Structure 1
């Protein structure tokens, strides 16, 4: 027969209430007692009745994750990290994708399916700063990304400007002076593309290198095909460049492919740096130098903040903003 709460309490020499407090991760248990209960749970292979626990607490044990598209490796790997961290807290993740469409993002915020979850981790792409007040929803929500700042909810994001600056500086320090940029969004004021362009331009300025608009290529979507097409345009224009900073790794992989097709030696003739540290980059030929923006830490912080909000629902906690650290990973392409 399956072990019960009574069995755990008897083996650990504590009350049933103490076992319940440990199972529900409540703080009012001494460390030594908590350890004794956890050892008893492990020894007996006790499995809490999550349905009963959720019914008593008024929670579903489910959190939502909303991303633009899982076909982009960054978001697929972010989802994987969120699921792993959620398992640590004993909750399940329900995933929705919006295609980066503003109307679909707004609809998700009020969807009955979404509101059946205990809280939401939300990464918009179509919404913008003017939509900040739309985030004032009647359930716990943690915002990801760079589309909205200063909103009414907790926000976990990466250091886009500083990371793009570091990526560009890596190329400058290697002696590159004609650094092309792939992935620009003309007219964008707030968002990853605008912030990374800012970091790129600042690094050039600090190095005394003039900003050359002819070296900046657009890419509406940040997929491999768009990266390939962007560098084809650069080559066809006759632009003189000795490096490429691609605004994400998918774009960078497309750049690598075309440069190799054109018999351009990497990094001898053209160095390439990406952004995101997706798994595919380290297995490219040559392996891709990239920025690790702290994806796992973003997932950890987002889940932890949301779980805390759910547990303390009703408490007046001001919105918090968390910026995670990044690292430039030097590989063979630069």
Structure 2
């Protein structure tokens, strides 16, 4: 058995309460007594049971993070940023993958009460509205992504439509005339794809361009192979595009592979823009122009909102009374070689 407070107290010749005061940092302990207790702690190798202390205070120090797909670089980088933000508060993060499946998402929300979880950060794809109300005895939740707006919990997201429009406007400003979109989806849950398609269409309209439906390529998933296949279909058109806006960076990287394989120069023949600013895009050939959604800011904001809910509940028991908050995080367009070329992008 590891040494406990009683063992330290016996070794130091003091009461268990005195040992507890030293361990918890209370100032009203005589210096010589504190020194004896600290010496006994070092000799015995005593370590405070942080988990038990947190449970006595009504907290486990553990939060859950549920994401659709951990192999996606965007979600992997988001998970890493959330873990880093949580570590600053001495929280442990349990990570789960839902695959964007309704049953997995529903089961996740329903089973929280069986775990010692202080809160949940959740990026749903299938569920919406009241389906996301957790039956967890008041466990607070922060939602990420585009699936739910003005829902039952605090929500952090970017303005996808505005961000997509800015990306397409960049291509228009470069004088590109036939701008394609890669990433359209028809599924009811494909909210991200619909918002980015809306931004693409809005930017073309603002530039006085007539959108050609043939230049909108649908995909099943947002993966590299889907982008490569969609780009091949676009190049087989009688009048192929001279620019492509891809709804995420993986689609863009796949599209660039097809362009290079077919003998097209990027950006000389076809300019390419992605979305998400994953690390891979900084090292692709050419480097990828993309929309940065501010993953670190999303992570910090989500953790801060969760912490505020926990602090409010501990203070006033008003966790479920405070209205849900909507927080939009700023995005930015990161211009690189895939639209400006190597020399121009370096000057930019």
Q: Which TM-score applies when normalising by structure 1?
A: 0.84
Residue 85 of structure 2 corresponds to 85
Instruction: Look up the SS of the partner of 1:53 in the other structure.
Output: helix
The change in CA–CA distance for 1:177 and 1:5 in structure 2 (over 3 A counts) is farther
Q: How does 1:315-334 map to 2 (within 5 A)?
A: 315=318, 316-334=321-339
Residue 180 to residue 114, structure 1, CA distance change in 2 (3 Å): farther
Question: Are 2:23 and 2:48, in contact at CA under 8 Å, matched by a contact in 1?
Answer: no
Task: Say if 2:304 is the partner of 1:309.
Answer: no
Q: Which runs of 5+ in 2 are unaligned?
A: 9-18, 30-45, 340-348
- Measured on the aligned residues, the alpha-carbon RMSD in Å equals 2.2
Residue pair 1:214, 1:239 contacting (<8 A) in 2 also: no
Spell out the pairing of 1:82-231 with structure 2 (5 A cutoff).
Answer: 82-112=82-112, 115-127=115-127, 131-137=128-134, 138-186=138-186, 188=188, 191-231=191-231
Q: How far apart in 2 are the matches of 1:54 and 1:281?
A: 42
- Measure how far apart 1:233 and its partner are: 1.1
Contact kept, 8 Å, 2:125 with 2:189, in 1: the verdict is no
Report the Cα offset of residue 237 of structure 1: 2.8
Residues of 1 paired with 2:66 and 2:161: CA distance? 24
Residue matched to 2:52: 52
Give, in angstroms, the shift of residue 176 of structure 1.
Answer: 0.7
Gaps of 5+ in 1: 17-45
Structure 1 position 5, deviation (Å): 5.6
How far did residue 240 of structure 1 move?
Answer: 2.2
Rounded to whole Å, the distance in 2 between the matches of 1:290 and 1:76 is: 18
Q: For the residues of structure 2 that align with 1:67 and 1:189, how far apart are their CA atoms?
A: 15
**CA separation of 1:15 and 1:331: change in aligned 2, threshold 3 A:** farther
Q: 1:231 to 1:170 in 2, by over 3 A?
A: same
Moved more, 228-237 or 216-225: 228-237
Structure 1 residue 312, shift from structure 2 partner: 2.0
Give the whole-Å Cα distance in 1 for the aligned partners of 2:124 and 2:107.
Answer: 12
1:40 aligned residue: none
Cα distance in 2 between the residues matched to 1:174 and 1:210: 17
Whole-Å separation in 2 of the counterparts to 1:192 and 1:205: 20
Counterpart in the other structure of 1:261: 261
Find runs of 4+ consecutive structure 1 residues off by over 4 angstroms.
Answer: 1-5, 7-10, 46-49, 112-115, 187-190
| Residues paired across the two proteins, number | 299
TM-score, scaled relative to structure 2? 0.81
Q: 1:9: Cα distance to partner? A: 4.4
1:265 shift after superposition:
0.4
Match of 1:27? none
1:72 aligns with 2:77: no
Q: Secondary structure at the match of 2:59?
A: coil
Aligned equivalents of 2:248 and 2:183: distance in 1? Answer: 8
Q: Give the deviation of 1:115 after TM superposition.
A: 4.2
Deviation by residue 1:113-157 (Cα, 9 ceiling, x = unmatched): 774311100101122xxx301222231000111111111110001
Q: Give 1:71 shift.
A: 0.7
The question of whether the paired residues in 2 share the 8 Å contact of 1:146 and 1:190 is answered with no
Distance change (3 Å), C-alpha of 1:241 and 1:133: same
Distance 2:51 2:95 in 1: 21
* Secondary structure, aligned partner of 1:333: helix
Return the alpha-carbon distance in structure 1 between the equivalents of residues 187 and 68 of structure 2: 21
